[in-house]
Amino acid sequence: MRLPLVLALPLPGVLAWGNLGHQTIAHLASTLIHPSTTTWAQTILNDTSEAYLATISTWADTYRRTAEGAFSAPFHYIDANDDPPRSCGVDFERDCLGEGCVVSAIANYTRRVMAQDVLPAKEVDYALRWIVHFVGDITQPLHDEAVEIGGNGINVTFSGRKTNLHASWDTAIPEQLRGGYTLADAKAWAENLTAELAPRGKFGRVKEGWVKGMNVDDPKETAMIWAKDGNSFVCDTVIPEGVEGVEGEELFPAYYEGVVDVVEMQIAKGGYRLAKWLDGIAESVEGKKGMKGMKKDGPGPKAPGKGKGPGPKRSVEESVEEEWDLSGRDLLPEGAGVRGLLSPAQRRREAVLGSGDCGCRH
């Protein structure tokens, strides 16, 4: 049995999936995407290095802890108000209240990237960074669960180190599996997972199911498919005996050995989905550019929202803003953002921790 890594290494900062998980997902995606997608993404990020996705994969966690980025804290999770282990499930209308959630965020920043011709370069850059991060977040089951603030309130130990269940899934379990948490460790893990995604690898026959129903033109529905998938593991794997089954317990080695295969699969799933998602976005963007360059008979389509009369002249940006509320507010359930309509989990989060960004590992 491998000796527990956490006895020898310092725990990294409070990050969803930890540096190792997010950087592995990003590295894996960068090896799987089409070369034209690589060029497209590197141009947006102004980075032609091999690690162009991995190096920005944890930016969203850093940014949300700044005054400027505090608004984005709720975008890292969706609080599924279900009843594990008896029943698990995500309901968008019930669970994505407040200022938004990871589902609405993936949808919003996807369409912002797809509107790159009319948005400032910085906004497109930020949107791509969020997509890279949130597609990783949504595969972590406790980012799709409300119970005990996504497991942050479930106290456990890992190899004698006091921690919580969410932190164990984010960092302790992946780092124990791989024996490190550096960018080099992430690259090595991604290389191993690339082999496992090959036809004869352990994920070769199941990977296409991970992107079933994926549609970049309906990002909210796609993100809901992913959230429901992640949430399903809460009942089956994360807390199959309920909170009482893990509260105050030592997770290494018995619990670790029971869940580590799922953790690795979710990392592989995040990288594979991210690659397919970025390919889809890039293809859509390039397709729209091609359509703009085509000559057509007749006057062509009207600007978004334009009536029959000539009306006042508007910029392309104003036309797009009229067609799409790029703040993402239109993606939220009716009443979202109204304090009295917060979900039970969100009210508890505010009551216990006193702010929208609780400092949890969500």
Active-site annotation, residues = 17, 22, 61, 64, 76, 133, 137, 143, 166, 170
For the beta carbon of residue 257, count every other beta carbon within 10 angstroms: 11
**109 to 16, 103, 134: CA distances (angstroms):** 19, 10, 10
Give the Cα-Cα-Cα angle 216, 297, 295 (nearest 5 degrees): 60
Residue among 63, 69, 135 nearest 105 (CA): 135
Which pair of structure tokens corresponds to residue 20?
A: 């190792």
Which amino acid would we find at residue 289? K
**258 to 58, 59, 90, 234, 240: CA distances (angstroms):** 27, 31, 24, 13, 11
Helical ranges in 33-101 per DSSP H = 35-45, 59-63, 92-95
CB distance 332 to 100 below 8 Å = yes
Which amino acid would we find at residue 77? Y
Helix or strand or coil: residue 103?
A: helix
Euclidean distance between CA atoms 85 and 111, whole angstroms = 35
Euclidean distance between CA atoms 7 and 161, whole angstroms = 8
Euclidean distance between CA atoms 361 and 174, whole angstroms = 15
Euclidean distance between CA atoms 114 and 119, whole angstroms = 10
CA dihedral 339, 343, 346, 351 (to 10 degrees): 70
For the beta carbon of residue 115, count every other beta carbon within 10 angstroms: 21
